[in-house]
Structures are given as structure tokens and as C-alpha cells.
Amino acid sequence: MIGPNGAGKSTLINAITSLMQVDEGEVTIAGRRVSNTSPQLCMSAGLARTFQNIKLFTRLTVRQNIEVALTSGQRDRAEQTAAIDVGELLAWFELERIQHWKAGALSYGNQRRLEIARALALGPSFLLLDEPAAGMNAVETTALISAVKGIRDRFGCGVVVIDHDLRFIMTLCQRIFVLDAGEIVASGLPEEIRRNPRVIEVYIGHERSKKHAGS
């Protein structure tokens, strides 16, 4: 999902995961209503997420962060977490070498990858990533694309991604939704979105203008 600042992207994820209450509509997973409940109930129903501002257990090690999440997942989603292995998650996100480091001592890119690995340890049906590539350099972004692309097939969950990095979104996503002022103004395949006049007007053109202004 893409859209200009203030379009409502993070607000939507917060509403889906019950960090915000909704006045209309509802969120259901496999027929189970989770809107206006609690983040814990959303997790047990199959939702896991990351945040714009990274939220890790900074005094715990990399491995301990994942182990804590796995323990929680085993309590609420035993069947889905049965095949999850901490070592595999560490390897998948290239965190093996630093698994005994405190999370608070990691580089920004490693913290981002750890937050995603920890979310996967919950055994979600749907993983929601709020600007996972924010602040990453080109090398880190490329590695993240490779890791996220395999999540659906290896861990069996759908992935919803919000980000401002168009290269990241266009390379990674199979279907793109464009949000503006709280409304979906377009949806489709990456090439369809790239050519959509409304998208160019509300987002792509806006991003190009920002780049020219900064050059």
C-alpha cells in the first residue's frame, strides 16, 4: 500500500490491529471479528505487525527477542508455530552472527530485520509491515526484498506492506493499493499502478517533485 504522507496508511494498520477503535465497518479473519477488540486478540486470530518506530525489547538479545515472541505464539497459536524454528528465522534474516547481541546495540537495518523476524515467530496468517524499508540503504533494502519475498511461501502467511520507497514496493508486491485522504483511489498490478493517471497525480508525481526540490 502506498500513498502520500497523511493518507491514512498507518491509521489503517492501527485500526486493523485494534490499536485504534473504528466507528464504521469491521475487520474479520476467517469469520472471526477482531476490530475494536484488543491487540492480543488480533494476534491470537492471526495478525502480526511491525511499526514505523521500531519496538524491540532493547535489553534482550536478538535471539531472546524472537524466543519471547515464539513462546507467546505457542500459547495462542500452537498449531501455526509448531514448525517455527528460531535458528531458521535468524538465518532467514541474516542475524545468526549477531544473535547474542543486545537488540538495542544493533544497526538500524538489523533492528528492522529483527522486528520482522520476531513478528513471524508469532505464527501469523497475515503479516503487516509498516514502512519496513524506512531508513535503510540500497544494500539493506535489496536484502530485505529478498527476505520478504520468500515469507509467503516459506511461512505460509500473507504480507501487507506500507512503504514510501517506490522501488521497494514495485519490486516486492504482487498487487498494490493506493490510498489518498483515507480512500483507496487505485489498485492493481505494479505496471498498472505505475501508469495510472490518478496515482501519478496524487503520489508518483508528488514524489518526483520532492526529489527535484531536494536536488
pLDDT number for residue 204: 60
| Superfamily of domain 9-214, CATH level 4 | P-loop containing nucleotide triphosphate hydrolases (3.40.50.300)
Lowest mean pLDDT among 10-19, 64-73, 126-135, 196-205: 196-205
pLDDT number for residue 207: 52
Widest CA span in the chain: 52
pLDDT number for residue 213: 44
Mean pLDDT (whole number) for 155-159: 89
Average per-residue pLDDT for the chain: 89
Cell of residue 1, nine digits: 500500500
Q: Rounded to whole angstroms, how far apart are CA atoms 171 and 173?
A: 6
As a dihedral over the C-alpha atoms of residue 111, residue 116, residue 119, residue 125, rounded to 10 degrees, the angle is: 170
Lowest mean pLDDT among 126-130, 186-190, 205-209: 205-209
Residue 139: what residue type? V
**Share of residues in the chain with pLDDT > 90 (%):** 61
Mean pLDDT (whole number) for 39-65: 94
pLDDT number for residue 165: 78
- The pairs formed by 151-156 with CB atoms below 8 angstroms and a separation of 24 or more are 151/120, 151/127, 154/92, 155/84, 155/120
